Amino acid sequence: MKKFLDENFLLQSETAIKLYHNYAKDMPIIDYHCHLPPDQIANDISFENLTQIWLYGDHYKWRAMRTNGVNEDYITGKKSDFEKFEKWAETVPYTLRNPLYHWTHLELQRYFGVDAILSGKNAKEIYDTCTAKLQTKEFSIRSLVTKMKVKVICTTDDPIDNLEHHQKIAADGFETKVLPSFRPDKAMAADDIPGLNAYIDKVAAITGITVDTFDAYLAALKQRHQYFVDNGCKVSDHGLEQIYAEDYTDAEIVVIYNKIRANEAISYHEMLQFKSAMLVHFAHWDHAAGWVQQFHLGALRNNNARMLNKLGPDTGWDSIGDFSQAKMLSKFLNKLDSTDQLAKTILYNLNPADNELMATMIGNFNDGSVAGKVQFGSGWWFLDQKDGMTKQMNALSNMGLLSRLVGMLTDSRSFLSFPRHEYFRRLLCNLLAEDVENGELPYDIEWLGKIVQDICYYNAKNYFGF
């Protein structure tokens, strides 16, 4: 019987052990997509207690607590921080076989040196121990980032963000690059006319451009895109149900924009046309700037209307959707490729049924100009766990080149989530070693080690130009 979470956790052979400990373990981290708040990094804050750094904003844990019968007062409500932590601790034993069980104990070990199995029985002891450590300089945000060997963090930012926090971090000379990512989804959200108009007004205010025409709106957004370029941005990101690639003419988009600004209703087809046009413009700008564009596809968001109205978005009421992805994705990428304006692109799917679809789609547009130009991104959100990441790597291996994968990302709002990179690396090493043990790959440890290090770090470093 193996010991839980020992140094060879998830490593099932001597080959896997060698690959991980000799090649993967000490590689730096490039976290090229996350939702970490840049203001907290800029101010190098220290959290008051373990609940604040570990449970605030973590809807993964919230969903588990709700499923375990915990009242919302102990999750997002007014109970004390310790009372909330205690309910989480009581929930942890019931998360067995959920990735939360592994992540929880990895984070306790890697950050706090706590090897105990968390439960309601030792909640107070662990809470007090970790909270005391959080008061020391070694546990400030920047110290935690440095401790985990993070070289680059790309946050997720709205085009109207002034990026003051990124500027402060850069001016401070912090050794970890903290760069913005351009997330313009609100700028194309034509399914909510009042919300879109309010957003357009904000774009006008921050740019000083009167956005009374569609061309003026594009000029204002292009100004913000350039502002991100000037502040070190190298990536964009979209979180969409599916890619929009409806046919449209420029004249049709002008008419639709005028309707939007007049607060007139538009048809479903016109909404799709507007979103399609905006995606193409954003993609052209990304290509011209030499950026990497990312598309996170397939989330069915805000399913529980009652709780959405009570708590707002991003509070744990989303799920996997079963959207049709292939036809519009192919059409969109082909439109960009036909004019040689397809930027380096990473595609993420949330429905595992789309794994092979994505793994084959990328091959249609890898033209030899850049190694791994179009990427099938690592398992995302509900899929960033043992089974999901392994299936993603198997699909990519079978239909593309796993060796060119740009590795893992946290997609997290928590500064304690960097061990997810370790989790991925252990699974990667075990996957390759399994083939060696089965005689499906030669025992060339130096070559396999190079591939491991490329996937863990060097592929991303070269791909993004960090």
- Digit-coded pLDDT (tens) for 61-98: 999 999 999 999 999 999 999 999 999 999 999 999 99
Buried b (16+ CB within 10 A) or exposed e, 207-220: bebebeebebbbeb
pLDDT in tens, 290-343: 999 999 999 999 999 999 999 999 899 999 999 999 999 999 999 999 999 999
Residues 178 and 281 in one domain: yes
DSSP state of 72: G
Shared domain check, 121 and 187: no
Q: What is the pLDDT of residue 399?
A: 98
The string of DSSP codes covering 234-278 is -EEEEEESS-------HHHHHHHHHHHHTT----HHHHHHHHHHH
Kindly state whether residues 66 and 190 are assigned to the same domain: no
Enter the pTM of the model.
Answer: 0.97
Same domain, 161 and 65: no
Backbone angles phi, psi at 380, to 5 degrees: -120, 140
In a domain, 4, yes or no: no
Q: Domain for residue 6, yes or no?
A: no
Average pLDDT of the chain? 97
- Whole-number Å distance between alpha carbons of 166 and 233: 10
308 and 400 share a domain?
yes
Q: What is the mean pLDDT of residues 162-184?
A: 98
233 within domain boundaries: yes
Identify the pLDDT of residue 223. 98
Residue 183: the pLDDT is 98
Same domain? For 51 and 23 the reply is: no
Q: Pick the last residue of a domain from 92, 111, 139.
A: 139
Residues 89 and 196 in one domain: no
Give CA–CA dist 427/85, Å, rounded.
30
Mean pLDDT of 221-245: 98
How much is the average pLDDT of 49-70? 96
Sign (positive or negative) of CA dihedral 387, 377, 280, 211: positive
> Which pLDDT value is given to residue 22?
98
**How many structural domains comprise the chain?**
2
Q: Are residues 391 and 259 in the same domain?
A: yes
Tell me what pLDDT residue 363 has: 97
- CATH number at 56 reads 1.10.2020.10
**Residue 440 domain-assigned (yes or no):** yes
- CA atoms in the 13 A half-sphere facing the CB of 176: 25
Return the pLDDT at 264. Answer: 97
Q: Which of 122, 139, 156 is the last residue of a domain?
A: 139
In a domain, 116, yes or no: yes
In the beta sheet, which residues pair with residue 344? 292
334/185 same-domain check = yes
Domain of residue 282, CATH code:
3.20.20.140
pLDDT class of 404 with cuts at 50, 70, 90:
very high
Closest CA to 59 of 301, 289, 257: 301
The share of the chain scoring above pLDDT 70, in percent, equals 100
Say yes or no: 404 and 430 in one domain.
yes
In a domain, 418, yes or no: yes
Residue 1: what pLDDT?
84
**pLDDT at residue 395 in the model:** 98
Q: Is the pLDDT of residue 388 over 90?
A: yes
Task: Report CA 319 to chain centroid distance, whole Å.
Answer: 16
pLDDT bracket for residue 439 (50, 70, 90)? very high
Is the torsion defined by CA of 386, 391, 396, 397 positive or negative?
positive
CA angle (344, 349, 353) in 5-degree steps: 135
- Residue 311 shares a structural domain with residue 421: yes
Q: Which of 84, 118, 139 is the last residue of a domain?
A: 139
Domain that holds residue 50: 46-139
Q: Are residues 168 and 74 in the same domain?
A: no
Say if 5 falls within a structural domain: no
Residue 319 sits at φ, ψ, to 5 deg, of: -150, 180
Per-residue pLDDT tens over the stretch 239-264: 999 999 999 999 999 999 999 999 99
Cα–Cα dist 346/362, whole Å: 9
Average pLDDT over every residue of 121-127: 98
Q: Alpha helix locations (H) across 290-368?
A: 305-311, 326-338, 355-361
Per the domain annotation, does 8 fall within a domain? no
